Every structure is written in structure tokens, then in C-alpha cells.
Structure 1
Amino acid sequence: MARGLSLCSNGRKPSTLLSSSIARVSFAFSPKTLLASYPFQSRHPKFSRLFCKLASVPETVDATKYKELFNRRMTMAGLKPHHRIALGVSGGPDSMALCVLAAKWKTQGFSGVNKTDGFIDGLLAIVVDHGLRQESKDEAQLVSCRVSEMGIRCEIAHCDWVNGKPKQGHLQEAAREMRYQMISNVCFRQQIDVLLIAHHADDQAELFILRLSRSSGVLGLAGTAFASEIFSRSLQLDVKHMKNRSILLVRPLLDLWKEDMYKICQWGRQDWVEDPTNRSQLFVRNRIRTSIGNLQSGTFKSELQAVISECRQTRSFADKVCTDLMNHTVTVTEKGYAVLDLERLKPTEVIDICLSKYLAAVLQFISQRQRPIRGNTSKLLLNYIRASPCRTSLTAAGCYLSPAPGSKGTKIIVSCSVDCPLPSKTELLNICFNEVQNKPTSDDLGQIISDSKEISDHAAASRLFEVQFLDVASESVLSEARELNLLSESTYTTIGLLQMDETNRFITKTEDKSVDDSEHGTNIASSSDKVHIWPGKNIYFMNRFLIRWKLSDHQCEEASCGGNCPVSTATSMEVRHMVEYDWLHLAELSRCSNTSHSTLSSRKALRSLKSIPAAARRSLPVLVNHCGLLLSVPAIGFSYCSCLVASAVFLPRVPLGGGHSSFL
């Protein structure tokens, strides 16, 4: 096939903005594709980004194949062209290819274009300006203009690093977390339920090597989900369903490789941005990406993808078993704790990988810490849950596990532990002072997830007996894959070398980091950590309880309050967890001979408190004044005075099981 250099891909006329912003200076060559590179003129040449065009004439692009694959993936996600969808766009070849496919899919079969402004209906591209470099604002604007030329509305989200910009060692992770937060905020504000991200097969391969070098289990080696529900970090209340709002994150390009992204851009006649920082060998994913990119063997990629596919099969099976177990054995109470029925669970009959995931899901839900539970903690939990009937208590992963009173060890109470050491005050007091807004929400997302689950369950049932890695330890995954003829000897050796290289780097880095960490120690929760709430305002306490208080219209019983009501004079109240002194104080109030509101309320509260296991009481929120006087325990209905109206609704940020996910 003839090759040549050209300023425009396939005769596409460059935009006026590009013509005035970039200059032709060099050409970059790759073994398969010849790219013309145009650096965006930046005040910091070291970090300049390049706009690239396909300057060669490669083989004819099979557009039908890409469109059919994309359509099939969107159907598997439960999506239809009329749904409102957002795209995460960086301007690179991956996200520009996503824009091309999404625009084609949106407009197929009908016009789909707004006649007023010329943009595609129900499609919004979101470009994040991380603000980590001076030129990032101009670059984001340039990408926005490019996307707008495709007929896609575009919004730029500018990051505000309130606590300072991230340090070099945590730059990529912090930027990724901030990026998702900013994109999610735009989606919630625009009432968009679905977000498409351009992760592809190369990203999965990089993640597999990375996690393999960190000794991840089979579930971790499955990579990122094809579709997953993500939830707002600060409470976005869906009043209709009384839950935190979420969006469905879909990755429709996981079956495609990087080279496919370039071909799709060529087919769509689109330029893209190349960011030189993505080639920096300081970052682990960049190193792995470079190593894999140097392996031109199609056999290596296909075999690696086959192993990842088997891990995903195992993950799908474990997810299904875990969901079924939770539906039949877990009871969640409105007081914020869960009860596990061991007689129904039969933990000795559940395989390790499924039981570990089940326990992790329950503990992550109760503690609202979405961290993996691995290693010794996971083994400790397995041994504890299988020692049925349960006779002892255990503190693990931010939760306190204990036998349920009167169950003779056949049921376990899982409550939030308020005494665990936490890495930071922010996690201990993860609070949002924003006023809860009654924004209208649609039922589209629920229907989308329902349709996706139906497809996922049907596919999982057809492959029920094809799961290969259920009993395989992380260190044996490659060996097992070789035994199953998924890996050839050469691919097995190559992956092993990549794993060894990153493992050695990780061990060295961990040793260096441990020296620094020893100087700081662990930040333990203390009584000095105070959270205040003002009347009429909402506070989201520990990602678990939505709390509110106000003064009622009832006349204060000043006589019973000693003529100076501590409630009516309070300008704010402190929120903390219940302690033993609080229920002793309630008992003391209940023994008073008078019939004041506080006495009657304490008696009623104690009756309610007796039905709550002692371990679970400690995670209940209480309201006290500046002197420490107990004014309310909203969860059990206690209030010091009739002029106080307080409520505490158990409203976990992330639901049991972490929301919908699919690894098809």
C-alpha cells in the first residue's frame, strides 16, 4: 500500500483554530502507521501535547466491523440511541475514536441532530482540565473545539485542587480520581445517567501485568468492569427512591486494541492529541505500556486476552454467587447494621473466592469504605465465619462482628466499628454540608440496569460450567493458564518477565516508602474530632446517616428544662457516635418521677434501644450541645425537649454489593 505524508487525513480540511494554533515541525514514525505530529505551542515545551493525523494510507478500514461491535456492546449495556449519554474525552486517539463511534450510533436510523444548534441530541462530551500545567486550559479548549466540530456538545470541567496539587509520586492516581469526580459532577448536574469511557484491550493488558506484580487474586486480574455503577462522593439525594444518585459507567471498547483506535480515527477523519507525559517511564502503567507495545506478536496479545477473559468468567461467576448469597442471608436494618444468617449461608460449603467476596461486600457496605479486603484480613474473616456456631467477636476492615443475642451463634451482627484506626481525619469525618436538593430524577437508569442484568444473567448461565480459575491462587494463574493451553511457553515466559520486573520495582518502592511513613505514624480517631450541624441544615455523617434537626412550633417546656432550655438556646449541635455513658444517662433520666418530655422520651428510647445489640449501638449518631449534654438520639426517637425535631436516616452512599457491575 502506498504511503505518503499529508497535512490532512483523507483530505480533511484542518480547522481554522488548528491552523492558527499549531505548526508543522516533525514527523513521527511507527512500524505500522506513519503519523504526522503537530505540537500545540505551549509555554512549557517539555509538556507540550501533539495533535496527530494519519499521514499514511493504510489498509481499508472495516467500518462495518467496528460499528457492529460497538452496537453489540451498547445493547449488552442495556443502552439505546434515545438515552442521554456523556463521553469522557481527553482528545487522545482512544476518546476521539469513542466520539466517532458514539456519534454514528446515536444518529443511525434517524437524524438525531438538533435542527436549532446542529448538535447531536442526548450526547455530551466532557473534557477535564486538570489544571496541573499552565497550558492545560488552552489545550482543553482546543480539544473542545475539535469535538464540537463533530456535532457533539462539549463541556469543560476545570479542577480545583482545594488541598493543593498532588505530588509526583501520586500524580496519576490523584488526577484519575479527580477526573472521575469532575465528570460525575457534570453528569449529575446535567441529569445524565450514562457515561462512556474509552478503555480498551491494551488498558486491560497493562492492568493485568500491574496487578499480577502486586499479587492480586483472580478477581483483581479480571481487570475493569465492562459496565459498573458509580456513586456520588458527596450525597446527591434521589428523593424519589431515597438513595444516593449514581451513573452507569460503560466501557464499550474493551474488545479493541490501540491500533483499532487509530483506524477508527482514520475512518472518522479525526485528529487526536498525543500527550508526551504518557511516555514518561516514571509511571508504572507507562512502563508496562511501553514493554507491551514493543511486543509486536499478535499471538502474545491474543493469548494474554484469553487469560484475562478466563479471569473475567470467574469474576462473573463469583459476582453471581455473591449476589444470591446476600439476597438470601443478609438482613440490613434501618439502624445501620446487618445480620448474617449462618444456617442459610452454610459457609463451609461455599468456595473461598465466593465467600471472601461475599464478606468483603458486606463489610464494605457497613463501614462504607470501598477498599479491597485482602491477605491476612481475608483469611481471618474466612476462618471466623466458618467456625460455626459463632462464639467470639472480631474487629476487621472497619467493622465489628459478634454473635447475635439469642441466636446461639447461628447469626452474626456486623456493625460499624468506631474505634478502628483510620488513615486520615477526612475518612473518619466524611461529611457533606451541602443542602439536599429535591432534583427530579427519571427511572431510565433503573430500566437500563435491568435490561443489562437480564443479558448478563443469560450469558453467565450459558457459561456456568466453563469457569476455570475458581480454586486457583494468584501465584498459580499463569501456570494454570499454560496447563489449559491458553498460554504458549513463549508468552508464559514473557508475561513472567514483565511481572518480575514490576514486582522488583514495587518492592524497592515499598521499602523506601515505609521509611517515610514511619515518621508520621497512624492518625487515630480522637474526641477532638468534632462535627457540628446547624438548625435546618443536613449533614451526611460517615457516609451512612443523613441527619437534620430544627426547632419545632411547639412551645418549649421551660419549667421542665429548669427555665433555660438547652435546645432552644443552641445555635448548633455536635454530632458524634453513641458511647456507653449515653445509654446510662438515658436510664437515669427514665427513673425520674416527673412526667417531663425528657423523662417520657428516654423511657421510650430505652425500649427501642434494648432491641439493638450493644455492639451496634456504638455506631448510632447522637446530638449534644457545646457542654456535652445529650439532646437527641434521632435513630431511637429520643429528644431532650419537645421543641426539638431531629432525624437520622440510614442512607449509605454505596448500596450493598457496590451497585451493578458486569464483566461480560
Structure 2
Amino acid sequence: MARGLIVSSQNKTTSHLLLTSISRVSTTGKLGKNAFAPNHLQSSASIPSSRLLCSYPNDPIDMSKYRETFSKRMAMAGLKPHHRIALGVSGGPDSIALCVLAAGWKTNCLNAPGGENSIFIDGLLAIIVDHGLRAESKDEANEVSTRVLNMGIRCEIGHCEWSDGRPKRGHLQEAARDMRYQIFHNVCIQHQIGVLLIAHHADDQAELFILRLSRNSGVLGLAGMAFVSQLFSKYPNFNGEASNDHGILLVRPLLEFSKDDLYKICQGGNQEWVEDPTNQSPSFARNRIRMSLKNLSSLSLNSELQAVISACRRTRSYIERVCYNLINEAVNIMDQGYAVVDLKILNPSKVEDLCLSKFVTSVLQFISHGRRPVRGSASKLLLNYLHTFPCKTSLTAAGCYLCPAPGSKGTKVLVCCSIDSSLPLKMELFHEHSYEVQKRFNPTEVEQIIAHEKSYSDCLVPDASDVQFLDVTSSESVLLEAKRINILSDSTHRIILSLQRDEIEHFRSKTEVKSDYKLKNEVEATRTSLSKAVLPPGHIGYFMNRFLVMWKLRENIINDTSSLNEANFDQDLGAESPNFCCRSCPVSHDMVAEVRYMIDADWLYLSKLSKCQNVESTQEQGVLLAEKMEQATEKLNACSDYVKLSAQGALDSLKSIPVAARRGLPVLVNPQGLLLSIPSICFNHCPCLMASAVFKARVPLVGGHSWFI
């Protein structure tokens, strides 16, 4: 939610009260789109903190063109009125306009429900997020909910829980956004809804273009927000084995609408909205850019800027289609968390550098889970590496290690996660029951919508000859090429460069503060690196954002003492203790395991176990006292035989895994550091131990389904 308090008001105030710190704007006074756009940037201190409830006078508005455009966009996204759909709603003019259009579309634009006693529209849910960062945010969310309910739209309010405390100011917007979208996803899954509509519009795209231009983004970044993309859970789906994630479809049907259009839609729907005066604060980059664009706004600037963005989007559509095809044909993702790229199929010499760069970036960030960005010199090194055929050397870049795949004679490249011992081991814990809601979610409808949408998108992806920016290498070259082919006029080109320079200066002025923050984080990371990735039994842990790991003891053995004693036994064979593990076994029932990456000593230890004789092995470890050897030999043989066979099988499995990839496998050890299990190769040190490790990135390769129209 935007900042400030919504004040319900029955009184009629005059528009001049906008000059003071008020909380209500009269419905009798016309509020234009620039009512909150002064000719100069206001200081933060001069901006009222309360949100302003606004409306237009009830002048007639022709809604037919807006409804027709919205319906076309929904059809292009593969959506039909019978589909279950959620709306992200803040109460501002953008999301209220989205509610008006979605309600009308759902009811075929005829007699859309309204008023307190109306029947709710089937299959439409508004999700309102209370970020909980201010005392009044709960009241704001309730006020917005009341108005949306009166439109005939069901509502659910999601509340943010900041377990680690309020986010730092410099990262507040980013943290709030991440939390907001996680709530959107969770609510959609709970209600079995596969589609979420967000109210981003054309003006948002223009702001994002200037922002990314100032950060030197390439043509892919300058393409802005996707028309259709997917929103995935913080925790990937897990049912004990690899499974497909079907993220919520995130659709932005208003990207063709201007901000002025959205005000008129609110007016045509007789709906009030809230304006957030803090959007005038120059503390945030998007606010500065938004106000600058409004001050410089002209028909030619707006149309030419949108034309450049459109050209970037066509370029990205082409690149993503090429990249998608290359990945399907030339990349094999292995269960152990590494990839093999077939250079013969890839044929890098025949692929445009922008497409090849997107391809290798997608693969590396998937394997390392985006641990490091691929930029500048690293991107050039990777392109040169792929262009060298056959591959003869190794390369470390962006958190990955690349080398010729064993036995391929350089025709294939192995891509595995580069294990950096200086990085802290990370484990996120969550209970298995947290997946129950996800398991009930039926992805069939999402799959059908994607298939229907592709019938449109496949026809609209341009050929290489229709793409303007395939040869550009920087943001500056995008503008120069746009000027050369007459997309941009000289005057618009100068204005965009001026906006870019202004924002670069603002960005540089904060470098020192950000550097201090980064240094502090590095100190904290150094402290954290001493911590261990701990995993209690029965829990699921997400290890290094790459592997879902779980372990527990077999219930049938634990609950059946006679069965248990056939496999393992108490440390003191004469004692009556609930811990029925032999002393040669590092597993105990009250143990908490630790997870780390595999090291060379682990497979040397497996080799030793595979060759040990049963009694000799236990004697070497000093497991039994001489006087108890006779009564325990039969039981020890059974347990030791199991360990020996498990080690032999694990070694056989290791032979099929390249040495470089082995170092990325998760290993479970006990608190004393003794090896318990290597789940990826089915090694367990005890027959009562059950462990699994599934390679599972949060987001699928190439980021899931997306479409830049």
C-alpha cells in the first residue's frame, strides 16, 4: 500500500485545501492528471504524509474503446471470462481502473455488479496487501477493501510479516515488492487461482526505460516489463522427487493504456481512488523520473519514447524465442545439478551474439541460481569460450565452472556450480506440510491458457529481418540506432539523454552511502560464513537455493524394537536405551544433521568403506568391547554389510558424474563431521536412515513462460 491514511469524508471541501496537509479531496472539484505534478521537484519535507481520496466529476466518458482494448489484450493472453482471476489492488487509480475493466469484462460489459448488496462476480478476487510498515496501514487496507467489495469483487487482505525487522530505507521498496508478490502468489494458490492481473501501464514502461537507461542496461533490459510472465513461489514444489513448477501467470493487460486513460476509466466507472503524495518525493528514482517526464511531456516525446520501447520489445521477443529453442535443443540439465551443452547443436558461429549471450547467461544463472550477474568482461569471455571449437580449456565465470565434458573431445561443455569456500553455507527450513496447499493446486488451467496464448504469440514474434536492435551492444547504441532509423527525432534524443544524465548523477551521489552499506553487509557475511547449514529430521531444507534436502529415520524400524535390533543397536549393548544405533553408525535419533558440499575426502571414505571387512571395520573403529564381540557379531555384520554395499553402489554412481560436478553435491554429516549420507548417489551410512536431495531451482530455466509483445 502507498503511504498515508485514507480518511472517509462526507463533507465537501474546496480544491484550494490541497495546498495544506489534508486527507480528502472533494468529489466536486475536478482533479487533473497533473494535480500532483508540480513544475519542480518538491522536497520530502513539503509533502503531506496522508493519502488523498480523489474522484472526477461525473462527466460522461465513452468506455467502449477502453473495454474493447482490454478485451483484446485479455484474449491475446489466452484468457477468457470463465477463468479464475486475481487482481493486485492498492487503491490507486491504476488498480481501481483495472478493477473496473476486469469486472466489466467478466460480466460481458453488461450490468457489472455494484453497490453493497450486489452479488459478487464469479471467479474474480482482489488481493490487497497491508505491508504493515505504518500504524495506519491496516485501516487503509480495510478502506480499499470496502470500496472494491462495493464494486462486486471479492477481496482478501494479505498482511506482511517482517520476521527480520523493518527493511532498511535504501531497500524498502525492493523488499516491499518481494513480500507483496509472495503474498499474491500464496493467496492465488490458496484459492486455486492461476492468473494474476497487475495494473502496470505505458507510463510505467517509460519510467522504467529511463531508469534502466541510466544504469546502462542493454536492449533486453530496455524492453521493460513483460506482457505475460510467471510468478513462482519462494519455495519450489517438492514431492520427494523432481516435479514441474507451474507458476502463477502474471498478466499486465494495461501496458497500452496511459495514466490519463486510467483516470478516465475511473471516472467512467464512477469510482474513487487514492493518490499518494509521497509519490512526489525525489528520494526515489522512479518518482524523480516520473515528475521529469510529466514536466517535459509532449505528444511527440511520448509517442517516440513508446516507439523505442516497442522496438526493444520486438528485439527481446526474437532473442527469447531463439534462446528458448537453443536451450531445448542443445542443453541437458542433469539431476545432480549441472548442465551439458552440445556445441555441435548449438553451433555458436551461426547465432547472433545477443542471442548467444542471453543463452549462456540463462544457463549459468540457472545452475548457480543467479549467484553472480553476467556482465561486461565476463560476458565477453563466455562468448569467446563458446566460439572456440572444439573446447579445450576451462573457465570460471558468474559462479560457474565450465570445462570440456569428459569423453566429448571438446564437442560438449560441462557447466557446474563453482564451489566458493568463502561463501557461507545457506539453508532455509520449512515443514513438509507447507506444500499441502501447493499439491492441491491444479496446473491444468494454466497450461491451457499458455497454450492458447501461444497461438497468438507464435504469430507475432518477428523474424531477424524485422528486429532493429540485434547488433547493438549498449544503451547508448540503442538510442543512436533509434535515431539513425528515424524512430527518435533529434529533440527527443536530446531530452532522453538529458534525463539519463540527471539520473546518473543522482545514482552516483548515493555511491558512497551504498558502498558503506555493502561493506557492512560484507562484514556480516563474513560472520555468517562461520555458521552451519543445519537440518533437523523431518524437515525440508533448501540448500544454497539449489537442492531440496530432507532426511528422517524409518518409522517402521523406530517403532519396532525387534526389527530395529536386526539392523542396529544401542551404543551400550547391555543398556536399555531408546537409541538403538550401533556405535559404528554415526546416526542417532535425537541428532540434527548438517549439510555441506561434497569434498575429495568423502569419496575416499566411500572407497575405504567399500573395501572393509565387516568385523575388521568395526574393530578398527573400536566399536565393540572384546567381551561383547560374540553376542553382537551377527548384528554388526548385518549393519556393516549394508554400509559396504551402499558405499559400493555410491561409487558406481559417482563414475557417471564428472569430478567437477561432484563438488556441487550436498552431503549430510553429523555434528561431529562424520559422513551420514550422500543422497544424490544413494549412499546412507545406516539402513534406518532415509535421505533425499533434489536439484530444484526456484525459477525454471529461461525464467518460465514470458511474452514481450
Distance in 2 (alpha carbons) for counterparts of 1:520 and 1:541: 21
Distance in 2 (alpha carbons) for counterparts of 1:241 and 1:635: 12
Distance in 2 (alpha carbons) for counterparts of 1:303 and 1:546: 48
Match of 2:546 in 1: 544
Match of 1:591 in 2: 611
Please tell me whether residue 466 in structure 1 is matched to residue 461 in structure 2: no
Distance in 1 (alpha carbons) for counterparts of 2:242 and 2:676: 30
Q: Tell which deviates more after alignment, 481-490 or 322-331.
A: 481-490
Please tell me whether residue 86 in structure 1 is matched to residue 100 in structure 2: no
Match of 1:209 in 2: 210
Distance 1:310 1:500, change over 3 A: same
Report if the CA contact (8 A) 1:34-1:54 is conserved.
no
Distance in 2 (alpha carbons) for counterparts of 1:281 and 1:261: 24
Q: Tell which deviates more after alignment, 467-476 or 197-206.
A: 467-476
Match of 2:57 in 1: 55
Distance 1:97 1:45, change over 3 A: same
- Cα deviation code 1:437-476 (max 9, x no counterpart): 3432221111111221231111115x55210000012211
- Cα deviation code 1:495-544 (max 9, x no counterpart): 11101111122122224432553465463598733222233332222233
Match of 2:578 in 1: none
The structural deviation recorded for 1:565 is: 3.7
Q: Which amino acid is the alignment partner of residue 54 of structure 1?
A: Y
Distance in 1 (alpha carbons) for counterparts of 2:655 and 2:250: 43
Q: Which amino acid is the alignment partner of residue 63 of structure 2?
A: A
* 3-state SS of paired residue (1:101): helix
Quick one: percent identity of the two aligned structures?
Answer: 56
Match of 2:661 in 1: 616
* 3-state SS of paired residue (2:664): coil
* 3-state SS of paired residue (1:18): coil
* 3-state SS of paired residue (2:433): coil
- Cα deviation code 1:268-293 (max 9, x no counterpart): 01010001111111111000000111
Match of 1:575 in 2: 595
Report if the CA contact (8 A) 2:47-2:277 is conserved.
no
Match of 2:635 in 1: none
Match of 2:427 in 1: 429
Distance in 2 (alpha carbons) for counterparts of 1:600 and 1:95: 62
Q: Which amino acid is the alignment partner of residue 97 of structure 2?
A: A
Report if the CA contact (8 A) 1:228-1:659 is conserved.
yes
Report if the CA contact (8 A) 2:77-2:251 is conserved.
yes
Match of 1:171 in 2: 172
Q: Which amino acid is the alignment partner of residue 468 of structure 1?
A: Q
Report if the CA contact (8 A) 2:585-2:685 is conserved.
no
The structural deviation recorded for 1:109 is: 7.3
Match of 1:532 in 2: 534
Distance in 1 (alpha carbons) for counterparts of 2:322 and 2:183: 34
Distance in 2 (alpha carbons) for counterparts of 1:350 and 1:546: 35
Distance 1:23 1:382, change over 3 A: farther
- Give ranges in structure 1 of 5+ residues lacking alignment: 1-15, 38-43
Report if the CA contact (8 A) 1:199-1:251 is conserved.
yes
Report if the CA contact (8 A) 1:166-1:174 is conserved.
yes
Match of 1:76 in 2: 76
Distance 1:450 1:111, change over 3 A: farther
Distance in 2 (alpha carbons) for counterparts of 1:519 and 1:163: 17
Distance 1:162 1:430, change over 3 A: same
- Give ranges in structure 2 of 5+ residues lacking alignment: 1-5, 19-28, 38-45, 558-563, 571-580, 615-639
* 3-state SS of paired residue (1:302): helix
Distance in 1 (alpha carbons) for counterparts of 2:409 and 2:334: 20
Distance 1:34 1:453, change over 3 A: closer
Q: Tell which deviates more after alignment, 165-174 or 78-87.
A: 165-174
Please tell me whether residue 226 in structure 1 is matched to residue 227 in structure 2: yes
Q: Which amino acid is the alignment partner of residue 191 of structure 1?
A: Q
Report if the CA contact (8 A) 2:238-2:548 is conserved.
no
- Cα deviation code 1:241-274 (max 9, x no counterpart): 8234411111000011100010100110101000
Match of 2:384 in 1: 383
Q: Which amino acid is the alignment partner of residue 586 of structure 1?
A: L
Q: Tell which deviates more after alignment, 371-380 or 81-90.
A: 371-380
Distance 1:447 1:221, change over 3 A: same
* 3-state SS of paired residue (2:567): coil
Distance in 2 (alpha carbons) for counterparts of 1:485 and 1:273: 40
The structural deviation recorded for 1:430 is: 4.4
Distance in 2 (alpha carbons) for counterparts of 1:454 and 1:372: 33
Match of 2:568 in 1: 558
Report if the CA contact (8 A) 2:591-2:670 is conserved.
no
* 3-state SS of paired residue (1:513): helix
Q: Which amino acid is the alignment partner of residue 493 of structure 2?
A: Y
Map 1:616-655 → 2, pairs under 5 A: 616-655=661-700
Match of 2:15 in 1: 26
Please tell me whether residue 604 in structure 1 is matched to residue 649 in structure 2: yes
* 3-state SS of paired residue (1:54): coil
Q: Which amino acid is the alignment partner of residue 409 of structure 1?
A: G
**Paired positions, count:** 636
Map 1:145-544 → 2, pairs under 5 A: 145-237=146-238, 242-369=243-370, 372-419=373-420, 422=423, 428-433=426-431, 435-438=433-436, 439-442=439-442, 443-461=444-462, 463-474=463-474, 475-518=476-519, 521=522, 523=525, 528-544=530-546
The structural deviation recorded for 1:294 is: 1.2
Distance in 2 (alpha carbons) for counterparts of 1:333 and 1:490: 53
Q: Which amino acid is the alignment partner of residue 206 of structure 2?
A: A
The structural deviation recorded for 1:573 is: 1.6
Distance 1:19 1:116, change over 3 A: closer
Distance in 2 (alpha carbons) for counterparts of 1:235 and 1:307: 36
Report if the CA contact (8 A) 1:436-1:538 is conserved.
no
Distance 1:591 1:112, change over 3 A: farther
Report if the CA contact (8 A) 1:419-1:525 is conserved.
no
Distance in 2 (alpha carbons) for counterparts of 1:592 and 1:265: 78
Distance in 2 (alpha carbons) for counterparts of 1:529 and 1:397: 24
Report if the CA contact (8 A) 1:36-1:53 is conserved.
no
When the two structures are superposed, what TM-score results if normalisation uses the length of structure 2? 0.84
The structural deviation recorded for 1:25 is: 5.3
Distance 1:239 1:647, change over 3 A: closer
Q: Which amino acid is the alignment partner of residue 291 of structure 1?
A: S
Distance in 2 (alpha carbons) for counterparts of 1:252 and 1:517: 37
Distance in 1 (alpha carbons) for counterparts of 2:36 and 2:417: 57
Distance in 2 (alpha carbons) for counterparts of 1:396 and 1:226: 31
When the two structures are superposed, what TM-score results if normalisation uses the length of structure 1? 0.90
Report if the CA contact (8 A) 1:598-1:641 is conserved.
yes
Distance 1:541 1:256, change over 3 A: same
Distance in 2 (alpha carbons) for counterparts of 1:81 and 1:72: 12
Q: Say what the alpha-carbon RMSD is for the aligned residues.
A: 2.9
Q: Which amino acid is the alignment partner of residue 468 of structure 2?
A: Q
Match of 1:96 in 2: 96
* 3-state SS of paired residue (1:596): helix
Q: Which amino acid is the alignment partner of residue 546 of structure 2?
A: R
* 3-state SS of paired residue (1:124): strand
Distance in 1 (alpha carbons) for counterparts of 2:50 and 2:700: 42
Match of 1:9 in 2: none
| Structure with larger Rg | 2
Match of 2:632 in 1: none
Distance 1:559 1:134, change over 3 A: closer
Distance 1:569 1:125, change over 3 A: closer
Distance in 2 (alpha carbons) for counterparts of 1:549 and 1:240: 13
Distance 1:217 1:498, change over 3 A: same
Distance in 1 (alpha carbons) for counterparts of 2:671 and 2:119: 59
Distance 1:35 1:290, change over 3 A: closer
Distance in 1 (alpha carbons) for counterparts of 2:207 and 2:529: 44
Q: Which amino acid is the alignment partner of residue 369 of structure 1?
A: G
Report if the CA contact (8 A) 2:36-2:277 is conserved.
no
The structural deviation recorded for 1:659 is: 0.2
